[in-house]
Amino acid sequence: MEQSVVVMGVAGCGKSSLGAALARAEDATLIEGDEHHSAANLRKMQQGIPLSDADRQGWLDALAAELRHRRRGAVLTCSALKRAYRERLRAASPGLRFVFMEIDPAAARSRIEARRDSHFFSPTLVDSQFATLESPVGEPGVLRVDAQAPLATLQQEVSAWLRRGEPAG
């Protein structure tokens, strides 16, 4: 994999699962976006407090730095909910591509509820995630996938898209 790719979407869409499967399949470095949140951001999300743009600044800076240091390409899992966030990441990694894991609010909420004991993200934040989301569909280098498709199918679809090198929109 010569270029980096961001697996993006709202909480509960399956970014971490697809990101890990894709990194294994493509023999690429996985950058788990959640691991780069500050302790203050993690506390806010645990308490059900949505992050502001200001809260996300340091997190996006850290992720952009990670991308800049990956000359061979990497798979980054990151919500990248707003176009401005995606543009910051694109500036750090020319040719950066995005896989948008599309899911409906009920399915996302169900997934978050199911992992309640093992993940920091509060189910009460689902609505704020969808309110913040600016769909990337139509932006250059974006592939939209059905987040509820089987993981193996998603990984194969994304790997094939990356190999073709064609833009999606």
Q: What digits encode the pLDDT tens for the residues 48-64? A: 787 888 998 999 999 99
Q: What is the pLDDT of residue 22?
A: 97
64 assigned to some structural domain: yes
At 13, list the tokens: 């869409």
At residue 41 the predicted structure's pLDDT band, cuts being 50, 70 and 90, is confident
| Whole-number Å distance between alpha carbons of 66 and 2 | 15
Average pLDDT over every residue of 124-151: 92
130 assigned to some structural domain: yes
For residue 65, give its domain range.
Answer: 5-164
For the chain, how many structural domains are there in total?
1
How many CA atoms lie within 13 Å of 24's alpha carbon, on the beta-carbon side? Answer: 9
Average pLDDT over every residue of 81-88: 96
- The SS3 assignment for 30 reads strand
pTM: 0.89
**Is 124 a residue whose pLDDT tops 80?**
no
Percentage of the chain exceeding pLDDT 70: 92
| Whole-number Å distance between alpha carbons of 82 and 87 | 9
Q: 139, 169 in Cβ contact below 8 A?
A: yes
We report the CATH number of the domain holding residue 65 as: 3.40.50.300
44 assigned to some structural domain: yes
169 assigned to some structural domain: no
